[in-house]
């Protein structure tokens, strides 16, 4: 960003600010910076501006310049909200890149990037913070007026705040509203409503403080020796003395601890509070207690780990990005910890990214053990206050390590030196909804280029094809760690051929006899069991009951989905439909089936067969909110659960010592999913879930129920042979021109009326087909063709990996969107581009 001489005797030219507003505006607009603000306005600061007639927003200054807008008179910036910028130029660059790469607006990126408390608009609702209490003595007049109104009404819209201030202060310029609100938020008198939408319920505790009145030695002396109110209340005096003692020896004390330690009663404490001597303050306490800032690395790397560690270090001096391919339980985390240590000792900041679900207290504890208070956790389930705290500490460079999910990428790192993207293959790194639909791994790689000498380590037991391809083309470094820590054996996979099971018992279709026997053996040995059932197992598909063959689309190499309603097999890539199969193309049989079952059903069956075992279920329905998930994991860790049934959630990076059996209940469902990445995903899922078995003691066993025991992917998982999977898949990707050989842009069309959305998608496809004839697939209806009363259509563009072509195509898409929206019939069709979708 260019330096601009903004003021001074020589400069009489007007200064304009390009400002990002947290809305889906096609471009950033420009405002005029009034002269008296010139010395304070900075790039990256938030400012208050008017947009339209009477809408107000807090926007972020992207650029300051002298170019007056051509077609309209720029309005003035109303206020500057920050003394120091909330973001560095790197964040603004990241926003810009994201918006252009992922086809959204910078405002949408900004809205995703900033914590709710930084975002203000006329639509914002302020909510009174009940924990703030009613002590408004520290507030100035304007703050006080608003706080009092909030105390009574609990909620205020921003225009109401404005009214309050205008009514009581005739002289107050209307521009002063946002700064007042901003101060109130900083003083934690109120929240922006968005913050309360979360399910996170902060833990609150009462702290006992000495009233500031007695903070001086002299005042305290007087209180203790002369105060008549205390001389008559012996017990209260005792409690006060006890309080003062604890405060001196232990620092701040909670009400509960004080009462317990002093043996005093609630009434005695109340007496002191009523006299105004002590104060009770409700505070949100960090669930994760922040420890001291020390580094404590108390383990040695094994020889294999150490070799990998050294190779990574060498690799990162040669190339900025390195992929660590380390089998499950090889001790990747310990290697990360040693690398993190190196980087923070050299004064750099480190971002450690994990998929949201893997960000459990298990992982957090593991890292905190070594880095204590150097670590901050940034997570969508944490409170906005905590997020702001971390935001500021990262910006000041005070916090050295951030452990976070994909949104941690937006933090304003001052001096970022190292990014770890753990479980880099994980699909939850891609944000699906809403915009920006970014891939956090790829965005992290871009972001690293914005910092001086910043390195990236991707880690996985089952790398994405994209990353492995990049490593094989020597774009990334590649380090392999092919043995488990402690030389523990890799788990052994055995196939249970469901075609041979002749039992009439319907439960046996869910839990076969061999699997039940194995479960019993584990239970008898006081070991634990994980049973895995994929969510995706719900998509209906047709399968030959004799040989396990699943019908595929001729053009797309993906499994066909069965539509009961239309009685058709449909390809969700190109829209081709086929009559239901009568004859198996592989074995000639006429016996086709459809089988599906969910985790709930499995739990029922388990309880029938193993009435004495303690079972639990882990899926999106059973664990709402972060704490339920953590709780379940802890229960399992502490051996309070014998059998855990779960979806993908049980797969993510968990480390349980006592599990010796993993059951994969419906491998067919995993292998039939209608997606060109099906084999890659199936391998990843099964290898990862297998990796939960026998981590400490070895002898981990994995039983796979399948009707295709010879399926190549199952063979590859059985051999733990990632290279074989990679070689097979990469050849197919090349043949069908899928990533990493092409880039995919998926367009989703949405409308209430089915014909409208179908026509719109068709018109769109026709318009693009001149230029992209060979690259368009569809339009077709997706698997779920109606969501929230909107009908959906999809169009897929498979483009060559060429930056120019890609850029041109995005331009063409945006242009066609505008053209289509000019037609009254299609005005209401929503079109959503998704780049590199998964």
Instruction: Give yes or no for residue 333 binding ligand ADP (CB under 6 A).
Output: yes
- Report what 584 binds from Zn ion, ligand ADP, none; CB cut-off 5-8 Å by kind: Zn ion
Strand residue runs (E) in 483-572: 492-497, 528-532, 543-544, 561-563, 568-570
- Rounded CA separation 441/351 (Å): 12
Residue 575 token pair: 């829209």
Minimum distance from residue 478 beta carbon to ligand ADP (Å):
16
Instruction: Give yes or no for residue 334 binding ligand ADP (CB under 6 A).
Output: yes
Kindly tell me the burial class for residue 570, based on how many C-beta atoms sit within 10 Å of its own C-beta (0-12, 13-18, 19 or more). Answer: buried
Residue 433 token pair: 């909804």
Asked whether 317 and 378 are in contact (CB, 8 A), the reply is no
Residues 567-586 that bind Zn ion (CB under 5 A): 571, 573-574, 576, 584, 586
Binding mask 609-648 for ligand ADP (x = CB under 6 A): ----------------------------------------
Minimum distance from residue 781 beta carbon to Zn ion (Å):
12
Number of residues near ligand ADP (by CB under 6 A): 16
Kindly tell me the burial class for residue 421, based on how many C-beta atoms sit within 10 Å of its own C-beta (0-12, 13-18, 19 or more). Answer: buried
Residue 554 token pair: 């001729």
Span from 33-41, 543-551, 731-739, 747-755 in contact with Zn ion (CB under 5 A):
543-551
**Size of the chain in residues:** 838
- Report what 329 binds from ligand ADP, Zn ion, none; CB cut-off 5-8 Å by kind: ligand ADP
Instruction: Give yes or no for residue 549 binding Zn ion (CB under 5 A).
Output: yes
Sequence-distant (≥ 6) Cβ neighbours of residue 174 within 8 angstroms: 162, 166
Asked whether 768 and 813 are in contact (CB, 8 A), the reply is yes
Asked whether 77 and 16 are in contact (CB, 8 A), the reply is no
Residues 286-325 that bind ligand ADP (CB under 6 A): 299-302, 305
- Report what 668 binds from ligand ADP, Zn ion, none; CB cut-off 5-8 Å by kind: none
- Report what 328 binds from Zn ion, ligand ADP, none; CB cut-off 5-8 Å by kind: ligand ADP
Distances (CA, A) of 190 to 154, 199, 311, 781: 9, 18, 51, 46
Asked whether 398 and 391 are in contact (CB, 8 A), the reply is no
Residue 631 token pair: 């709780």
Minimum distance from residue 207 beta carbon to ligand ADP (Å):
36
- Report what 163 binds from ligand ADP, Zn ion, none; CB cut-off 5-8 Å by kind: none
* Residue with the shortest CB distance to ligand ADP: 331
- Rounded CA separation 661/664 (Å): 10
Residues 452-511 that bind ligand ADP (CB under 6 A): 485
Instruction: Give yes or no for residue 338 binding ligand ADP (CB under 6 A).
Output: no
Instruction: Give yes or no for residue 538 binding ligand ADP (CB under 6 A).
Output: no
Kindly tell me which of 213 and 300 has the beta carbon lying closer to ligand ADP.
300
List the one residue from 198, 238, 414, 655 that touches ligand ADP (CB under 6 A). 655
Helix (H, G, I), strand (E, B) or coil at 322: strand
Distances (CA, A) of 559 to 464, 540, 837, 838: 21, 10, 18, 16
- Report what 544 binds from Zn ion, ligand ADP, none; CB cut-off 5-8 Å by kind: Zn ion
- Report what 703 binds from ligand ADP, Zn ion, none; CB cut-off 5-8 Å by kind: none
Sequence-distant (≥ 6) Cβ neighbours of residue 6 within 8 angstroms: 15, 33, 38, 39, 41, 64
Instruction: Give yes or no for residue 700 binding ligand ADP (CB under 6 A).
Output: no
Instruction: Give yes or no for residue 546 binding Zn ion (CB under 5 A).
Output: yes
List the one residue from 50, 589, 635, 808 that touches Zn ion (CB under 5 A). 589
List the one residue from 85, 331, 739, 779 that touches ligand ADP (CB under 6 A). 331
Minimum distance from residue 696 beta carbon to ligand ADP (Å):
7
Report which secondary-structure segment, H or E, holds 456.
strand 455-460
- Report what 547 binds from Zn ion, ligand ADP, none; CB cut-off 5-8 Å by kind: Zn ion
378 backbone dihedrals φ, ψ, rounded to 5°:
-120, 115
- Report what 330 binds from ligand ADP, Zn ion, none; CB cut-off 5-8 Å by kind: ligand ADP
Instruction: Give yes or no for residue 423 binding ligand ADP (CB under 6 A).
Output: no
Residues in contact with ligand ADP by the rule CB under 6 A: 299-302, 305, 326, 328-334, 485, 655, 695
Residues in contact with Zn ion by the rule CB under 5 A: 544, 546-547, 549, 553, 555-556, 571, 573-574, 576, 584, 586-587, 589
């Amino acid at each position: 960003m260019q330096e601009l001489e903004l003021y001074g005797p020589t400069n009489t030219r007007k200064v304009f600010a390009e400002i990002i507003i947290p809305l889906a505006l096609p471009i950033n607009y420009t405002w005029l910076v009034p002269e008296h603000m010139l010395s304070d306005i900075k790039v990256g600061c938030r400012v208050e501006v008017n947009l339209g007639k009477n809408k107000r927003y807090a926007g972020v200054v992207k650029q300051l310049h002298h170019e007056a807008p051509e077609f309209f008179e720029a309005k003035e910036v109303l206020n500057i909200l920050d003394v120091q910028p909330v973001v560095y130029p790197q964040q603004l660059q990241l926003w810009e890149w994201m918006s252009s790469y992922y086809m959204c607006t910078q405002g949408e990126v900004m809205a995703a990037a900033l914590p709710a408390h930084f975002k203000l608009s006329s639509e914002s609702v302020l909510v009174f913070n009940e924990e703030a209490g009613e002590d408004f003595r520290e507030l100035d007049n304007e703050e006080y007026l608003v706080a009092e109104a909030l105390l009574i009404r609990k909620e205020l819209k921003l225009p109401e705040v404005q009214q309050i201030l205008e009514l009581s202060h005739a002289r107050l310029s209307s521009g002063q509203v946002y700064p007042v609100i901003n101060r109130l938020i900083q003083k934690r008198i109120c929240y922006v409503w968005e913050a309360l939408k979360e399910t996170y319920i902060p833990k609150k505790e009462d702290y006992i403080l000495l009233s500031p009145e007695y903070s001086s030695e002299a005042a305290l002396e007087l209180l203790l020796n002369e105060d008549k109110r205390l001389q008559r209340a012996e017990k209260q005096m005792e409690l006060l003395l006890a309080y003062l003692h604890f405060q001196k020896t232990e620092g701040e004390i909670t009400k509960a601890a004080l009462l317990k330690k002093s043996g005093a009663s609630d009434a005695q404490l109340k007496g002191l509070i009523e006299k105004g001597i002590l104060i009770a303050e409700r505070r949100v306490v960090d669930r994760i207690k922040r420890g001291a800032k020390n580094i404590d690395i108390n383990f040695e790397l094994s020889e294999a780990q150490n070799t990998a560690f050294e190779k990574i270090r060498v690799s990162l001096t040669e190339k900025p990005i390195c992929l660590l391919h380390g089998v499950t339980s090889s001790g990747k985390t310990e290697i990360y910890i040693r690398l993190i240590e190196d980087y923070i000792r050299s004064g750099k900041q480190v971002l450690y990214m994990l998929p949201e679900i893997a960000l459990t207290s298990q992982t957090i504890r593991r890292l905190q053990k070594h880095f204590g208070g150097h670590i901050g956790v940034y997570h969508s389930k944490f409170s906005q206050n905590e997020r702001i705290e971390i935001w500021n500490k990262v910006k000041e460079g005070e916090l050295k390590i951030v452990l976070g999910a994909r949104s941690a990428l937006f933090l304003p790192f001052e001096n970022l030196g190292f990014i770890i993207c753990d479980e880099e293959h994980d699909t939850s790194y891609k944000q699906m909804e809403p915009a920006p639909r970014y891939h956090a791994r790829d965005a992290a790689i871009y972001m690293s280029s914005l910092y001086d000498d910043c390195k990236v380590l991707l880690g996985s037991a089952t790398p994405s094809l994209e990353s492995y391809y990049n490593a094989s083309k020597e774009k990334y470094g590649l380090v392999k760690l092919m043995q488990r820590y402690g030389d523990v054996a890799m788990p052994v996979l055995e196939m249970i051929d469901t075609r041979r099971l002749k039992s009439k018992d319907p439960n046996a279709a869910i839990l076969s006899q061999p699997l039940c026997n194995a479960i019993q053996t584990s239970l008898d040995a006081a070991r634990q069991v994980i049973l895995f059932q994929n969510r995706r197992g719900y998509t209906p598909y047709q399968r030959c009951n004799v040989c396990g063959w699943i019908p595929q689309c001729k053009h797309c190499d993906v499994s066909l989905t069965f539509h009961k309603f239309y009685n058709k097999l449909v390809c969700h890539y190109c829209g081709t439909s086929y009559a239901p199969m009568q004859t198996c193309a592989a074995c000639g049989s006429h016996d086709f089936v459809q089988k599906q079952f969910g985790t709930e059903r499995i739990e029922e069956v388990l309880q029938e067969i193993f009435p004495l075992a303690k079972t639990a279920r882990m899926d999106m329905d059973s664990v709402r909110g972060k704490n339920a998930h953590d709780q379940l994991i802890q229960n399992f860790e502490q051996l309070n659960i014998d059998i855990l049934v779960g979806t993908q959630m049980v797969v993510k990076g968990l480390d349980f010592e006592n599990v010796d059996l993993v059951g994969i209940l419906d491998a067919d469902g995993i292998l039939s999913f209608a997606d060109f990445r099906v084999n890659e995903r199936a391998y990843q899922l099964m290898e990862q879930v297998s990796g939960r078995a026998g981590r400490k003691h070895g002898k981990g066993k994995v039983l796979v129920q399948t009707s295709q025991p010879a399926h190549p992917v199952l063979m590859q998982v059985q051999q733990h042979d990632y290279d074989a999977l990679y070689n097979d898949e990469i050849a197919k990707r090349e043949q069908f021109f899928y990533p990493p050989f092409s880039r995919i842009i998926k367009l989703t069309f949405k409308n209430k009326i089915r014909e409208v959305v179908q026509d719109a998608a068709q018109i769109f496809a026709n318009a693009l087909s001149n230029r992209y004839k060979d690259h368009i697939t569809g339009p077709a209806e997706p698997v779920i063709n109606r969501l929230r009363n909107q009908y959906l259509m999809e169009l897929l563009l498979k483009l060559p990996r060429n930056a120019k072509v890609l850029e041109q195509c995005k331009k063409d898409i945006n242009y066609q969107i505008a053209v289509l929206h000019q037609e009254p019939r299609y005005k209401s069709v929503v079109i959503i581009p998704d780049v590199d979708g998964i």
